[in-house]
Structure 1
Amino acid sequence: MMLTNNKKPGMFKARIVCAALIAAGASLAAQAQETSQLSQSPQLPRTTDGRPDLQGIWTNGTQTPLQRPERYGEQRALSAAEAERLQQNAQQREQQSFAPSDPDRAPPTDGNTAAAYNTFWLDRGTQVVNIDGEYRTSMIIDPPDGQIPFREGAPEQNLMEHWRDLHGDDAFLGPEMATIGERCLLFYDFRTSNSSAGPPMMPIIYNNNYQIVQTADYVVIMAEMMHDARIIRLHGEHLPPAVHKWMGDSVGRWEGDTLVVSTRNMHPQQSHYGSGPGLEVTERLRMVSPGEIVYSFTMNDPVAYTQPWTAEMVLYARAEGEQIYEYACHEGNYALPGILAGKRRQEQVQE
């Protein structure tokens, strides 16, 4: 607004004071909104500082796949009836698997050693991901086709192949050449290129449990497999790029009732869905009820993907009193020493 000569200086000062009061009021309103956001869901359990209390034991087992099956195209949601059928079929398969095995049955002829696992060992979950009343056809919601937007011609970033390219082709020179799973450092599924500890934290065929411990300055997420604890610093800064961690460097902040976690600086041997060392993962944990946390993550790696992509799933609270038992990966594990001993024997014969 322009000042004209017929305006008195006192009026101008009054308007300045008025504008300052309006600005102060807007600031107070913003603070009140933040306070309101922290208390707008009184049914949620909360910590002493008013944040949603995420502590407890959770599982992310689900029947919903990461990428959308082709038959759905860009159909993002199922009807309630379709979701119910999928869940009932999963429950029926689970019940059938619990039936006693015939001790006189013939051995499998297709070489499928995975048949040695029955439902006692598996924990895939029977639920379809339901977020805000929408039953999802896939975890991926962006891009709209529900597929990982791999960049055509992107370099193969298989973590162990890359590591062996740096240190030699022989996979059995020493324990450093074995996979991180064989070394019981982190679980990593080479068939699906995912990790239970993450980030992102992905469901696998079993051991889909997580324990969350929370303070005003830290959030710790311990994955059952392989007993990996990720420490998330709140209100901090990322470490220098040269500092690599197996699960990356995670820094968190609260946006209202949502915990937002940014992770970078992944270890060179760690890769997720073709990602490379420049991967940045942004996770969001939004508690919607005492028994559910909506967990979303965005993967950003311009070398591997044509665009960032986002997926969502649900963490479900385990029943009160349940606990996670120690995942002692190396107990009774003779695979790695056997592999290394075999190589040493081969070297002796060649000499």
Structure 2
Amino acid sequence: MRTMRLVTTAVSALAVAVTISLAAPAAAQNVPADLSTLPPPDTSYTPPKTAWGDYDFSHTYQIEYINNARILLQRPESFGNRFFLTPEEFAKRLAAAERSDASYSAASDRGIGTSGTEGLADWIKSSTFAHRTSMLVDPVDGQLPPMTPWAKDMMEKGRSSWVPVQDFDWVSDFDSWDRCVSRGFPASMFPFRYNNGIRVFQSPGYVTIVLEMLGTRVIPLYKDKATAEAAGWPGNVESWMGDSRAWWEGKVMVIETTNIKSGDSVAGDGYSRAASPLNVATQATLPFNTTPMTKQARTIERLSMPNDHAIDYTLTYTDPAVFTAPWTARIEWVRDDKYEFFEYACHEGNQQIKDYISASRAHRKAVIEGTQEAVTLENDPSARFATIFDRDPAATYPNAPGGFGGPPPPPPPPKDDNKGG
């Protein structure tokens, strides 16, 4: 629920500074001269190996910087088909990050907080990904492919707390994230507006990906693709995070996931409902959290380490009954072994669902009695989620400012105690 999604303090300023200091400051040198070209993942670095011979990815990572830098899932129109920013656009993104970091530069006037930095500007200076125009890389325009007519109809009929002008009368009026069941897959693998930590654990034959918010994936590792595919679940077995099977292709860990919980957000029967493949809490994505998922849904993830402080993460999603073409996103996981996870205590027994229902019933009764106004698109705060309202500070928008707004006002002039008054 919107009212119970609380931000937890997760990043130590010192840890961020140490992590960023590992990065080479010459990220701009890795940006291609042709900004509409996306180089393949760099696999020249050789990670150390575990005692049993697998490449060692076992670290803590975060994708918080992607969210905080406002690198959106879908590409702003002003960037066209470019994968990378121009130098002028990059300067705007960096300036916005420096303004954001300034909020951490000292304790507040009430003595709350300590001097430090979010580390956002340092990451932007050191990361090639920070020059990117969107998370989506395919289609080349950085936009999600059109939905099929059936899928679009089901999305528009779906029920969720993010749908404007909707009454709440039972649990079927909420999506799986509202109810703290699951963010769904692959939605869980993208930056949200908070709690963006990722931990990777490895043991012989397995890799485990622990997500800071609602999700742990225990993935068996096989000797090759054919063996992994042969080990898949029967078609009638599904789970919220799907059936994931992994194998190595050189230095790249490949994960195929099928058998993701299929369904929609229309059915009153809970067994027929599914999580949306993309969550509204990811910036510049689909609205409402009501996109359906069918049994044809499938993902391929590719993880590689371009250096000792990051993972290059690529995910391709296919569901031909929902999207008219596959789509691919590629992001960076920033290694931060001192990033702290705090308990994400959202669970299915939360009082908030009951409160939504009782408040909605009381409001409808008051409308009938004439003591309150009916909910409309004009007065429902959820109406904003029907459109993409996130702004990349590096982009140009018609009639709308971008990013974090203008620079902070100058400090007041020092008081002259010699003046009378």
Query: What residue number does 1:91 align with?
Result: 98
Query: What residue number does 1:110 align with?
Result: none
| 2:225 is aligned with 1:231 | no
Q: Which amino acid aligns with 1:172?
A: D
Q: How far apart in 2 are the matches of 1:272 and 1:184? A: 16
**Aligned-CA RMSD value:** 3.9
Residue 77 of structure 1 aligns to a residue whose secondary structure is: coil
Query: What residue number does 1:286 align with?
Result: 304
**Kindly tell me: are residues 321 and 75 of structure 1, through their superposed partners in 2, closer, same or farther at Cα, counting changes over 3 Å?**
closer
Q: Which amino acid aligns with 1:76?
A: F
Query: What residue number does 2:237 align with?
Result: 243
Q: How far apart in 2 are the matches of 1:91 and 1:332? A: 41
**Kindly tell me: are residues 130 and 239 of structure 1, through their superposed partners in 2, closer, same or farther at Cα, counting changes over 3 Å?**
farther
Query: What residue number does 2:343 align with?
Result: 326
Q: Which amino acid aligns with 2:331?
A: M
Within-5 A mapping of 1:18-167: 41-42=45-46, 44-61=47-64, 62=66, 63=69, 64-79=71-86, 82-96=89-103, 127=123, 135-151=131-147, 153-156=149-152, 157-158=154-155, 161=158
Offset of residue 186 of structure 1: 1.9
Within-5 A mapping of 1:131-210: 135-151=131-147, 153-156=149-152, 157-158=154-155, 161=158, 171-173=168-170, 175=171, 177-187=173-183, 198=186, 201-210=189-198
Query: What residue number does 1:33 align with?
Result: none
Aligned length, in residue pairs: 278
Q: Which amino acid aligns with 1:77?
A: F
1:90-128: CA deviation from partner (whole Å, max 9, x where unpaired): 23134248788899xxxxxxxxxxxxxxxxxxx996655
Q: How far apart in 1 are the matches of 2:125 and 2:259? A: 30
Which entry has the higher C-alpha Rg, 1 or 2?
A: 1
Q: How far apart in 2 are the matches of 1:338 and 1:254? A: 48
Moved more, 58-67 or 273-282: 273-282
Query: What residue number does 1:117 align with?
Result: none
Aligned with residue 203 of structure 2, among 193, 211, 215: 215
Query: What residue number does 2:319 align with?
Result: 301
**Kindly tell me: are residues 220 and 207 of structure 1, through their superposed partners in 2, closer, same or farther at Cα, counting changes over 3 Å?**
same
- Unmatched segments (≥5 aa) in structure 2: 1-42, 111-117, 161-165, 223-227, 264-273, 279-290, 366-421
Offset of residue 131 of structure 1: 7.6
Query: Quick check: 1:131–1:294 contact (8 Å CA) kept in 2?
Result: no
**Kindly tell me: are residues 182 and 155 of structure 1, through their superposed partners in 2, closer, same or farther at Cα, counting changes over 3 Å?**
closer
Q: Which amino acid aligns with 1:328?
A: A
| 2:253 is aligned with 1:253 | no
Residue 207 of structure 2 aligns to a residue whose secondary structure is: strand
Query: What residue number does 1:338 align with?
Result: 355
**Kindly tell me: are residues 154 and 135 of structure 1, through their superposed partners in 2, closer, same or farther at Cα, counting changes over 3 Å?**
farther
Offset of residue 331 of structure 1: 11
Offset of residue 41 of structure 1: 3.7
Query: Quick check: 2:159–2:173 contact (8 Å CA) kept in 1?
Result: no
Larger relative contact order, structure 1 or 2 (CA cutoff 8 Å, min sep 6): 2
Q: How far apart in 2 are the matches of 1:231 and 1:246? A: 13
Query: Quick check: 2:94–2:125 contact (8 Å CA) kept in 1?
Result: no
Q: How far apart in 2 are the matches of 1:225 and 1:142? A: 27
**Kindly tell me: are residues 124 and 71 of structure 1, through their superposed partners in 2, closer, same or farther at Cα, counting changes over 3 Å?**
farther
Query: What residue number does 1:10 align with?
Result: none
More strand by share: 1
Aligned with residue 276 of structure 1, among 288, 293, 302: 293
**Kindly tell me: are residues 70 and 170 of structure 1, through their superposed partners in 2, closer, same or farther at Cα, counting changes over 3 Å?**
closer
Query: Quick check: 1:232–1:251 contact (8 Å CA) kept in 2?
Result: yes
Offset of residue 170 of structure 1: 7.8
Q: Which amino acid aligns with 1:224?
A: E
Offset of residue 239 of structure 1: 0.6
1:241-274: CA deviation from partner (whole Å, max 9, x where unpaired): 2111111111111111111111121213122144
Query: Quick check: 2:83–2:137 contact (8 Å CA) kept in 1?
Result: yes
Query: Quick check: 1:280–1:300 contact (8 Å CA) kept in 2?
Result: yes
Offset of residue 337 of structure 1: 2.8
Query: Quick check: 2:180–2:348 contact (8 Å CA) kept in 1?
Result: no
Work out the percentage of aligned pairs sharing the same amino acid: 29
Moved more, 290-299 or 270-279: 270-279
**Kindly tell me: are residues 80 and 213 of structure 1, through their superposed partners in 2, closer, same or farther at Cα, counting changes over 3 Å?**
farther
Q: Which amino acid aligns with 2:344?
A: Y
- Unmatched segments (≥5 aa) in structure 1: 1-38, 104-122, 164-168, 188-194
Q: Which amino acid aligns with 1:286?
A: S
